[in-house]
Amino acid sequence: MIAPTLACADWLNLEREIAVMDRAGVDLYHIDLMDGHYVPNLCFNLDILRAIGRVSGTPLDIHLMVTDPLDYVERLAACGVERACAHLDCFRDPGIFLEALEERGIKKGLALSPGDGAERLEPWLERLDYVLVMLVSPGFSGQQPRPELFEKVAELDRLRRERGLSFLIEVDGGVSWENAGPLVERGADILVSGLFASLDRRGELGERTRSFRARSRSLRERHTEKELTG
């Protein structure tokens, strides 16, 4: 699955670019919400979320980079958001956040910053629909990924297998044509595609998005076949 990050879209032509990517068949739109405190930047706001929902039926995948994620849950539900995650280090008790999402029918995720080990999620894995693994520091686009963090994907996949769980592993930050294969081989299910993949601005947006989606699906199918025969 691919989830183009709309932070890398052309904001002056956002509706047009969404229409092009919709026709290309994207799986999700990854949308960063920042508060200027947890990270020193701002990105999309709730009004833009509602506007996106009016022009596209593609599910919205919300990445909260905010100090108090609980403040956003009710408003995200009102925007019709399908899935949301926040960073583990925002909480004293992540369970309260997960319960709030669950009550509103929103798929539940927790995000790991580069300094967070996969083992920190162990108490919550059975309640999660997905885990977001950051390969870069949150809050800034265009960063090169840190290859040593790829093994965190493999560690989460190992934990998933050992426990017989079904949470998805989403990867964000510097995902590219070159590293998509190694990430899927380690267990990644969802690739957040930005400046180095479907939104790299080389060639036509729809064709580039279709090609990257096809590549990610082919990698996943080969990985699944290898698992079944291995």
Give the active site residues: 32, 172
Residue 225: exposure state from Cβ atoms within 10 A (0-12, 13-18, ≥19): exposed
Tokens standing for 36? 């200027």
The CA–CA distances, whole Å, from 8 to 16, 31, 177, 183, 191 equal 14, 10, 16, 21, 14
Structure tokens at 205: 């947006």
Taking Cα atoms as reference points, which of 139, 14, 10 lies closest to residue 64? 139
CA distances from 205 to 22, 24, 192, 200, 201 (A): 11, 9, 16, 9, 7
Cβ atoms < 10 Å from Cβ of 207? 12
DSSP one-letter code for 18: H
